[in-house]
Amino acid sequence: MTPRWTDEADVVVVGTGAGGATAARVLSEAGLEVLMLEEGPDLRGVERPEQLLEALALTMRDFGSQTTAGPVPMPLLQGRLVGGSTAINSGIVWRLPEDVRRDWVDRFGLGELLEARALERAFERIERELEVTETPLALYGGNNGKMAEAAARLGLPGKPIARNARRCEGRARCLQGCPSRARQSMDVSYVPRAIEMGARLRARARVERIVVRGGRATGVRGTLDDGDRRVPFEARARRAVVVAAGALHTPILLRRSGLRRGVGDRFQAHPGSAVVGRFDEPVVMAFGATQGYEVPLRERGFKLETLALPPEMLAARLPGAGAEWQRRLVELDRYAQWCAQVRFRALGTVRPGWSGRPVVRYVPTDDDLARMQAAIALLCEMMFAAGATEVFPGLGGLPEVLDRPEQVRLVREARLSRRDFHLIASHLFGTACAHADRAHGVVDARLRAHDVERLYVMDASVFPTNLGVNPQHSIMAVVWLAAERLAADAGAMRAAA
């Protein structure tokens, strides 16, 4: 099809999430002409729908219904709008743990990219620019406050969560997009900053294919969604194409463009599962930072966090139907919800399905599930320690409601199968793994594709392993360093030309 819209830039960036927006910000500052292409809508400066249903339909890819394949599906959540998943996330910030950095340097040969001091500099810069601070006590509200109490009572290493939301007002609705634009997601930070520095943004532009000529990426092709019309486009890249479509869509785009070796292998996830507790006194989940308190237990392979839910999701999470459920629905201020994020070790694959959507094959290991079970049991214990009168572990094969602390033993000792867990994952990695050795990686230690020149991958796909912590900050920092290298290379190219 002949393209009806064309554009040209030094660098074409596909996707505007944690990776794409950071790349665009660094490259624009370095003086390169950048074109950002984003499949989802541009909601900057637009009020997001107040109703959860409409908000999710507009911003969450497939309404969160993309799942792993197979008989026990696990939902995989991703944003689909300018800002990517950062525009619907809770703003939690964690630096790449040192043991993970070392592992990536030692086993994957990424020392050139992940030099400790350079990484530290990138983290500091991002934290300054994105206004990262620890959640203040004033924004705990009941949901975070109860977890703080439980951690103190049980002697657990709890702490307020560091978030990129210094001006947060505690409206507990990050999932719908921050109404006060306090959270520095990419749509309110690096995308506008890149634009100020000369970058262009085209939203509702879905890239279908990378154009490769003579073994070199020269641009991309795709379709613009212009309301009721779909318009083919082509964007030429003079220096580089940067793919940052997220861990599920980057491999699909690469495969569609002819790259195969290793692409879509090594899919990994950091799934979560939640426990709800009922208290006799009001908790008022609707006030406080959406996720403001955590208990990191990486040595045990998991991390516990608070997670405020909108009323629709909280109500669906309460057990039963009819009178019992209806009674609960008029006291939604009495509930707290916390979740466990577990560092799963399982490896899966992502491949294009018949409709072009990703097909994700992924089966957690027994050990992964055992750690999830231990984490859920600890959450139940914490709920009782905080004074909950009823706890809902959310596990099949067990009582729906626990009303005595002794019953936590049931959760800890139950023999559970995969079907008994309600898992959900929003931290996804590994599908275009970085490895210095071409035999083992899709991209090298500068995030350049091994098999195609001038093609880069700069998003969560390049992470060789699961971090065990919330990943957005690490994605931004790693991409920051790679984008600086790309800018330097492009400068050299320009000088040579």
Of 29 and 305, which has the nearer Cβ to other proteins? 305
Q: With beta carbons less than 8 A apart as the criterion, state whether 319 and 169 touch.
A: no
Q: Which does 84 bind (CB under 5 to 8 A by kind): ligand FAD, other proteins, ligand SF4, none?
A: ligand FAD
Q: Which helix (H) or strand (E) holds 232?
A: strand 229-243
Of 292 and 468, which has the nearer Cβ to ligand SF4? 292
Q: Binding segment for ligand FAD among 38-46, 226-234, 367-375, 439-447 (CB under 6 A)?
A: 38-46
Among residues 166, 343, 154, 356, which one has the least CA distance to residue 255? 356
Of 375 and 402, which has the nearer Cβ to ligand FAD? 375
DSSP assignments along 31-52, one per residue: T--EEEE-SS---TTSPPPSSH
Cα gap 308→285, rounded to integer Å:
6
- 303 lies in the binding site for ligand FAD (CB under 6 A): no
Interacting residue with ligand FAD among 85, 135, 223, 268 (CB under 6 A): 85
- 12 lies in the binding site for ligand FAD (CB under 6 A): no
Q: How far is the CB of 393 from ligand FAD (least distance, A)?
A: 22
Q: How far is the CB of 157 from ligand SF4 (least distance, A)?
A: 24
Q: How many helices (DSSP H) and strands (DSSP E) are in the chain?
A: 12, 19
Q: Binding segment for ligand FAD among 44-52, 409-417, 449-457, 469-477 (CB under 6 A)?
A: 469-477
Task: DSSP letter for 277, please.
Answer: E
Interacting residue with ligand SF4 among 168, 259, 314, 475 (CB under 6 A): 168
Q: How far is the CB of 143 from ligand SF4 (least distance, A)?
A: 11
What are the phi and psi torsion angles at 295 (to 5°)? Answer: -125, 95
Interacting residue with ligand FAD among 254, 364, 471, 483 (CB under 6 A): 471
Q: With beta carbons less than 8 A apart as the criterion, state whether 191 and 36 touch.
A: yes
Q: With beta carbons less than 8 A apart as the criterion, state whether 435 and 109 touch.
A: yes
Cα gap 170→385, rounded to integer Å:
24
User: Given 427, 435, 450, 473, which residue is catalytic?
Assistant: 427
Of 139 and 395, which has the nearer Cβ to ligand SF4? 139
Of 263 and 391, which has the nearer Cβ to ligand FAD? 263
Among residues 87, 74, 66, which one has the least CA distance to residue 15? 87
- 373 lies in the binding site for ligand FAD (CB under 6 A): no
Q: Which does 488 bind (CB under 5 to 8 A by kind): other proteins, ligand FAD, ligand SF4, none?
A: none
Q: How far is the CB of 78 from ligand SF4 (least distance, A)?
A: 18
Cα gap 75→204, rounded to integer Å:
24
- 289 lies in the binding site for ligand SF4 (CB under 6 A): yes
- 171 lies in the binding site for ligand SF4 (CB under 6 A): yes
Interacting residue with ligand SF4 among 14, 172, 240, 455 (CB under 6 A): 172
Cα gap 48→177, rounded to integer Å:
7
Interacting residue with ligand FAD among 56, 92, 113, 433 (CB under 6 A): 92
Residue 413 buriedness (CB in 10 A; 0-12 / 13-18 / 19+) = exposed
DSSP assignments along 347-397, one per residue: -BEEEE-TTSSEEEE----HHHHHHHHHHHHHHHHHHHHTT-SEEE---TT
213 residue type, one letter: R
Cα gap 160→162, rounded to integer Å:
7
- 14 lies in the binding site for ligand FAD (CB under 6 A): yes
Interacting residue with ligand SF4 among 173, 202, 266, 371 (CB under 6 A): 173
In the three-class reduction of DSSP (H, G, I as helix; E, B as strand; rest coil), residue 494 is classed as: helix
Q: Kindly state the tokens that stand for 111.
A: 């020392």
Cα atoms found within 13 Å of the Cα of residue 254, Cβ hemisphere only: 35
Q: Which residues of 211-225 are buried (b: 16+ CB within 10 A; e: fewer)?
A: bbeeeebbbbbbbbb
Of 74 and 96, which has the nearer Cβ to other proteins? 74
Please indicate whether residue 450 is annotated as part of the active site: no
List residues binding other proteins (CB under 8 A).
50-54, 56-57, 60, 62-63, 65-67, 71-72, 137-142, 144-146, 148-149, 152, 169-173, 176, 180, 281-288, 310-316, 319-333, 355, 357, 387, 396, 400, 419
Interacting residue with ligand FAD among 90, 143, 184, 431 (CB under 6 A): 90
Q: How far is the CB of 96 from ligand SF4 (least distance, A)?
A: 23
Task: Give me the 42-81 binding string for ligand SF4, x by CB under 6 A, dash otherwise.
Answer: ----------------------------------------
Cα atoms found within 13 Å of the Cα of residue 53, Cβ hemisphere only: 1
Q: Which does 19 bind (CB under 5 to 8 A by kind): ligand FAD, ligand SF4, other proteins, none?
A: ligand FAD
Give Cα 47 distance to the centre of its chain: 23
- 20 lies in the binding site for ligand FAD (CB under 6 A): yes
Interacting residue with ligand FAD among 9, 12, 13, 17 (CB under 6 A): 17
Residues that bind ligand SF4 (CB under 6 A): 91, 165, 168-174, 178, 180, 182-183, 289-290
Which residues are designated catalytic?
A: 427
